[in-house]
């Protein structure tokens, strides 16, 4: 597949100050460092990319590698301004992570127009690999299909048939809400109600009261980060579980369980692209990160490490940092590492790989610091992700 896919807030360099010069591979990590999504990625992702560059020897194809960091603060205009400066002025070659779908969408178009590379790990939207695909952006970790379908099917298999959907009032929230409703209907369940909450909501009492009144068996929460922490605390205060409701989470992160606690989250199931207790290779990498940050890493950090490492491997293979040649080389790589199992980079830019249905352990089951999750089921890559035959990408 040819040419596959390819601060306004804070701008810093890991090894050198960002400057427009030749013969340097510049990797830009653009994510939320200071607001709602910072806990699930933020500086942890930066540390992971620093580690990836260090593990690669600080060079690729003999070219020095430089890291620049941007905090988009969950503001699309800020994120787009940083990305535009990086690509037009600072000669950044690749933009990685890209938390927040509302920011990922315009940056995807900018990357395509500039002929650079995007390694998108955390945005939920699949438009960069579907109707907005441009041949320069790789989606490395997950999408709504790969996480939501596995979770919904598991809950229905347990005999729960009715759902209330609580989502953030964002681009990603709309995607999640539609994906949950579609999955529930496709597998014989019923949606009793839906409600959206503004990003950054601290009081979920009205949404939870509506969920209780709906009579649904499952409250499916599409929220994450600090919003999820607040909502789960209020679920406890309202005694919804004691009243017979079960709480499910569409997307969970290591940081969410750490913040909320296994006492409140034990038994909750959800699908992830990776968790640090998955296997011995994952545990070894997780312990390295824990030594750096003090916490066990989440899948966004792991996925960004994996994406950046394989991008650098592709530069080695191509012998250049020319975007088109690197993307061709990345497509030709046999990607298999602690994050990617049974991986296949599709022509639309979607990296498919095995996904994992996990469950939060009971407090008694946690025998190592922050080893919160246990494997319930491995979902094969071709079952977890949308098949290429159903893709809306015109490049395939």
Q: Are residues 150 and 263 in the same domain?
A: yes
pLDDT score for 35: 86
The answer to the question of residue 396 being in a domain is no
Q: Are residues 166 and 229 in the same domain?
A: yes
Q: Are residues 340 and 361 in the same domain?
A: no
Q: How far apart are CA 207 and CA 197, in angstroms?
A: 8
Q: Is the pLDDT of residue 105 over 70?
A: yes
Q: Are residues 369 and 221 in the same domain?
A: yes
CB 111 within 8 A of CB 129: no
pLDDT score for 4: 38
pLDDT score for 2: 35
Q: Is the pLDDT of residue 9 over 50?
A: no
pTM of the model: 0.84
pLDDT score for 155: 84
Q: How far apart are CA 1 and CA 218, in angstroms?
A: 43
Query: 175-179, 211-215, 341-345 — which is least confidently predicted?
Result: 175-179
Indicate the number of domains in the chain: 2
- If one compares 2 and 175, the residue with the highest pLDDT of the two is 175
The backbone torsions φ and ψ at residue 147, rounded to the nearest 5 degrees and listed phi first, read -100, -45
Which residues, in sequence order, are bridge partners of residue 167?
196
Q: How far apart are CA 44 and CA 33, in angstroms?
A: 9
- If one compares 143 and 84, the residue with the highest pLDDT of the two is 84
CB 129 within 8 A of CB 338: no
Residue range 189-200, pLDDT digits in tens: 999 999 999 989
Of the candidates 274, 273, 272, 269, which has an alpha carbon nearest to the alpha carbon of residue 249? 269
The answer to the question of residue 4 being in a domain is no
Residue range 14-59, pLDDT digits in tens: 333 333 346 899 999 999 999 878 888 899 999 999 999 999 999 9
Residue range 225-265, pLDDT digits in tens: 788 888 988 998 888 888 989 888 888 899 989 988 998 88
The answer to the question of residue 292 being in a domain is yes
Angular region, 384: left φ>0, alpha ψ -120 to 50, beta rest:
alpha
CB 262 within 8 A of CB 366: yes
Q: Are residues 231 and 288 in the same domain?
A: no
pLDDT score for 22: 60
Domain that holds residue 253: 145-272+355-384
Q: Are residues 283 and 201 in the same domain?
A: no
Domain of 137, CATH number, reads: 3.40.50.2300
CB 122 within 8 A of CB 98: yes
Q: Are residues 231 and 327 in the same domain?
A: no
Residue range 310-329, pLDDT digits in tens: 999 999 999 999 999 999 99
């Amino acid at each position: 597949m040819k040419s596959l896919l390819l601060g306004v807030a804070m701008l810093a360099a890991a090894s050198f100050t960002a400057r427009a010069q030749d013969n340097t591979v510049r990797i830009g990590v653009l994510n939320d460092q200071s607001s709602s999504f910072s806990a699930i990625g933020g500086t942890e992702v930066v540390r992971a990319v620093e580690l990836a560059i260090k593990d690669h020897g600080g060079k690729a194809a003999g070219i020095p590698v430089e890291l620049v960091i941007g905090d988009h603060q969950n503001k699309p205009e800020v994120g787009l301004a940083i990305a535009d400066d990086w690509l037009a002025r600072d000669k950044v070659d690749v933009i990685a992570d890209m938390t927040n779908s509302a920011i990922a969408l315009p940056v995807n178009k900018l990357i395509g127009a500039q002929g650079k590379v995007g390694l998108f790990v955390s945005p939920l939207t699949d438009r960069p690999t579907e109707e907005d695909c441009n041949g320069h952006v790789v989606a490395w970790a997950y999408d709504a299909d790969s996480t939501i379908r596995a979770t919904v099917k598991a809950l229905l298999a347990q005999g729960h048939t009715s759902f209330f959907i609580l989502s953030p009032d964002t681009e990603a929230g709309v995607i999640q809400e539609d994906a949950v409703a579609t999955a529930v209907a496709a597998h014989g369940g019923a949606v009793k109600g839906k409600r959206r909450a503004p990003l950054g909501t601290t009081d979920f009492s009205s949404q939870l009261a509506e969920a209780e009144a709906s009579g649904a068996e499952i409250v499916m929460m599409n929220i994450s980060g600090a919003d999820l922490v607040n909502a789960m605390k209020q679920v406890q205060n309202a005694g919804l579980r004691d009243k017979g409701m079960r709480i499910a989470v569409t997307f969970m992160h290591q940081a969410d369980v750490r913040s909320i606690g296994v006492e409140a989250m034990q038994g909750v199931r959800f699908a992830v692209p990776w968790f640090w207790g998955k296997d011995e290779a994952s545990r070894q990498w997780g312990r390295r990160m824990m030594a750096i940050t003090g916490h066990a890493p989440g899948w966004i950090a792991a996925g960004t490490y994996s994406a950046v490492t394989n991008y650098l491997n592709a530069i080695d293979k191509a012998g250049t940092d020319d975007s088109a040649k690197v993307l061709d080389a990345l497509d030709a790589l046999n990607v298999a590492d602690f994050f990617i199992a049974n991986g296949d980079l599709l022509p639309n830019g979607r990296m498919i790989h095995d996904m994992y249905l996990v469950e939060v352990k009971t407090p008694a089951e946690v025998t190592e610091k922050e080893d919160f999750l246990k494997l319930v089921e491995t979902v094969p890559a071709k079952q977890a992700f949308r098949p290429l035959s159903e893709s809306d990408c015109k490049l395939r």
